[in-house]
Structure 1
Amino acid sequence: MTTEETKNENRKILNTDKVLWITYINIILYALSYQLQRPVEPYLIKSLIEKEELEGSLSSSSSSSSSSINQTYGNLQSFFSFCQFFGSPLVGILLDRIGIRKTSIIVYIASALSYSILASASDLSLLFVSKIPTIFQAAFLVAQATAATSTGDDASLRAAALGRMTTAYTIGATIGPALGGYLAGKGDFYIGAKFAVAGSILSAILSSLFLPDNNNVQREEEPPTATSSFLDDTRRSAEIALRPTIWPLLMVKVMGVIPLVLTQTLKFEPQQLGLVMSCGMFAVAAFGAFAMSPLAKTLGSFGMMNTGLIARSILGLIMAGMVTVYASLLESTTTTNDIEFILMQVIVVSILHALSQHVLATGLTTQTTGNVDKDEQGSLLGLEHSLFSLARIGGPAIATALLGFGGMLPVEMACGSLDILMTISLSITLPRSSKRKNT
């Protein structure tokens, strides 16, 4: 390699590092902005319901009881997931059509618009309107596309970058709720949304200054070809989803129900549930930052998927057994030592469960993005995120029904059976060339 070629290679590496670090910063700001207002929303809903009751626009039958507030909050979250379900594929197509920089700017401007409407929401209608711009609020999707395209064909580098995206999100998601609660402590439920507007605008500026103009270097070097229509790109997204190297992987997108179970079955207090979830988040953040790359080099993305599926099914059944035993134990004893002992065991299993989910998710995204061309990665990731939103709409209802039918054991037996079936299915249906491509 000549001196000039070495300089060009070093320059390329430095530029990739800069793009990734700006993306990490943007994801921290995105998670921080989102979480600043999220824990305040139930209280904001309560205050708006009480206000509308006083003004006479709500009947006395729709009082500000906890059930009414919970129902409104649930409807709001379902509407948000509905917007994301349709919006994620659109953002994916935009990534492939106009590139990372412009799509990122659109995403963060949409976030700023959503938070601006929320910051001035004087009634419940405006609260729901504030979720409409979230159709394009897909910053993590854009970050994944940036990681996938910036790291080239190196699967271990791609897995490491994807893992660090989760670490960056966890940093913002850890700080955001506490800071949002503190800011709203004096009764101003809109202040978090106002700060979120500023954070989103800052991310839009960073995106315009530092992110690449196109997500596909090869496309920049090739002569221009006939431009496809948006409908053509939508059809191509459907075609991508049906490829034999893709559809088995998309089927593995399954939601967990650990927080619901810890709340309803073990009857944990909010601070105990928060401790369990925080420990899991910190473990995932540390694992993504330091252990994902060595694991990807050792197992490959296909091995990561199978390991995550098998580990998750085993740990889920262990958790179900713990719940069955400890739920009855907690009814007969309330000693501090017993509760602390149970809490520590649940924390350990929950951390391992969270890590297995993280390994599975990273392995899946590493595998899927490696199985398509670079100018198709945005559309693919849009499909993945759309499936996440679909699962958030229907998954909790199914899990709750199973939970009410027989407790956690039926839930984890169903999830574990699906995981084992998917492990077998991936080994049979996924072409051998695809398995080797990302190892």
Structure 2
Amino acid sequence: MNRSLCAILATITLDAAGIGLTLPIIPSLLRDVGHTGDLGWRFGAFLSLYALMQFIASPLLGMLSDRFGRRPVLLASLAGAAIDYLFMAFAPTLALLFLGRAIAGATAANMAVASAYITDITPDSQRARRFGQLSACFGLGFIAGPVLGGTLGDIWVRAPFIAAAVLNGINLVVTFLVLKESRTPGIAEGERPSLNPLAPLRWALTFPALLPLLGAYVILGFIGEIAGTIWVLYGEDRFGWDTVTIGISLAGFGVFHALAQAFLVGPIAERYGARRALVVGIGADTLAYVLIALATQGWMAFMLLPLFCLGGLGGPAMQSLLTARVSADHQGRLQGVLASMTSLASIFGPLLISSLYFASRAQVPGLVWLVGAALYLVCLPLLLAASRSQPGMTA
């Protein structure tokens, strides 16, 4: 593994840890700054604002990295994040805290740039492996971050934001010293640069060869929101889990996810191809969703954790298939579009999923899981359409 790849993986790990640091104390911080015990709309709005800004900023950062290079965009994003976390650590009002949250969402959109960097330095045959490693590093950082954040939050509610600023500062220094530019900056011939954040989305929709895979990618992103939205609620309602058991289940999921992404995605995709790896991921996730809907004991859910994580093969495999359809000059733009679509699922997915769960849990507690499994069937005609289209690059 070369130094540049190690540097980008370390960057994502530290970035994820910085994001995770602040999660456990957000409710307490909102109560402290807002001088109220009733979070009301504030908590949901605070979370959604982050995803909304990622939706807007991801394609823009990806496009700028195509024009000016990956390294300067990553450096600017990390510097902005470090300053912003300090700003939020000392924000005296809710309005300023929300402003800081908006900036944090925009700077966190650098995952698109990191993915484009991976694409630049990795041959087609190994991209699924590298995207899996990228996802594993993000998962490891996200496991460590909340643990440290909860500990620091017990000392002082604003301490996790200071720690996140320090982590981003370290990340900035590491990136500046180690990371080399992965491509020659510039724009494709005949194109005019645009700062319109919706321009990359319009660009992606103009290529018929991309549309089936993009449609399947959106569906996979929405289905992926189901577990994140209702896992805690389902564990409490269906199995009577307490907070300790829930914490253990989440930690177990994180460990299995990291192992699957780091050690299974690459070998399966390289031996059988990204398309078959995608089918394996969809099949495993569909089976896991059906079985968790039928499970009656908590230990059954724990036994399904490896199957859920095997389902995680689908994301990197899909990403690999999409990168093969786009030229090197547009990889940043593509990754921005994909990150933006993921953010869109994070905005609307939890609202729809939680509404369905609360409406159905008394009669059919596992209905949401079954709906997720059924949605995978919608992916099949899209994948068939993609396989019939030309596999060559669209742009």
Aligned-partner SS, 2:207: coil
**Structure 2 counterpart of 1:355:** 310
Q: CA 1:283–1:121 in 2, change beyond 3 Å: closer, same or farther?
A: same
Q: How many pairs align? A: 380
Q: CA 1:178–1:243 in 2, change beyond 3 Å: closer, same or farther?
A: same
Match of 2:211 among 231, 235, 247: 247
Structure 1, unmatched stretches of 5+, are 1-15, 51-62, 327-341
Is the CA contact (8 Å cut-off) linking 1:100 and 1:211 kept in structure 2?
Answer: no
The aligned runs of 1:13-412 (5 Å cut-off) are 17-50=2-35, 63-64=36-37, 68-69=38-39, 71-133=41-103, 134-153=105-124, 155=125, 157-186=126-155, 188-213=156-181, 215-216=182-183, 228-230=192-194, 235=199, 237-252=201-216, 253=218, 254=222, 255-267=224-236, 268-322=241-295, 326=296, 342-356=297-311, 358-407=312-361, 408-412=365-369
Determine the C-alpha separation between the residues in 2 that align with 1:429 and 1:36.
Answer: 40
Letter matched to residue 189 of structure 1: V
Is the CA contact (8 Å cut-off) linking 1:244 and 1:429 kept in structure 2?
Answer: no
Q: CA 1:185–1:412 in 2, change beyond 3 Å: closer, same or farther?
A: closer
Determine the C-alpha separation between the residues in 1 that align with 2:381 and 2:191.
Answer: 41
Is the CA contact (8 Å cut-off) linking 2:8 and 2:114 kept in structure 1?
Answer: yes
Letter matched to residue 15 of structure 2: Y
Determine the C-alpha separation between the residues in 1 that align with 2:120 and 2:299.
Answer: 41
Q: How far off is 1:229 after superposition?
A: 2.2
Is the CA contact (8 Å cut-off) linking 2:131 and 2:316 kept in structure 1?
Answer: yes
Q: CA 1:143–1:102 in 2, change beyond 3 Å: closer, same or farther?
A: same
Is the CA contact (8 Å cut-off) linking 2:209 and 2:390 kept in structure 1?
Answer: no
Q: Deviations over 1:206-250 (max 9, x none)?
A: 22233233x435x68x9x967732159964552223423322222
Q: Choose 32-41 or 410-419, whichever is displaced more.
A: 410-419
Q: Deviations over 1:181-202 (max 9, x none)?
A: 222222x112221121122122
Match of 1:431 among 375, 388, 394: 388
Q: CA 1:231–1:141 in 2, change beyond 3 Å: closer, same or farther?
A: closer
Q: How far off is 1:89 after superposition?
A: 0.9
Q: CA 1:198–1:261 in 2, change beyond 3 Å: closer, same or farther?
A: closer
Q: Deviations over 1:69-127 (max 9, x none)?
A: 25311110011111111111111111111111011112112211220211111221121
Q: Deviations over 1:233-274 (max 9, x none)?
A: 964552223423322222223233224434333412222122
Q: Choose 261-270 or 373-382, whichever is displaced more.
A: 261-270
**Structure 1 counterpart of 2:373:** 416
Determine the C-alpha separation between the residues in 2 that align with 1:377 and 1:234.
Answer: 16
Cα RMSD (Å): 2.4
Letter matched to residue 158 of structure 2: Y
Using structure 2 for the length normalisation, give the TM-score: 0.89
Q: How far off is 1:432 after superposition?
A: 4.8
Q: CA 1:261–1:36 in 2, change beyond 3 Å: closer, same or farther?
A: closer
Q: Deviations over 1:346-381 (max 9, x none)?
A: 01213311330x201011111111210111111111
Q: CA 1:262–1:172 in 2, change beyond 3 Å: closer, same or farther?
A: closer
Q: CA 1:278–1:96 in 2, change beyond 3 Å: closer, same or farther?
A: same
**Structure 2 counterpart of 1:331:** none
**Structure 2 counterpart of 1:336:** none
Aligned-partner SS, 1:35: helix
Is the CA contact (8 Å cut-off) linking 1:85 and 1:390 kept in structure 2?
Answer: yes
Aligned-partner SS, 1:130: helix
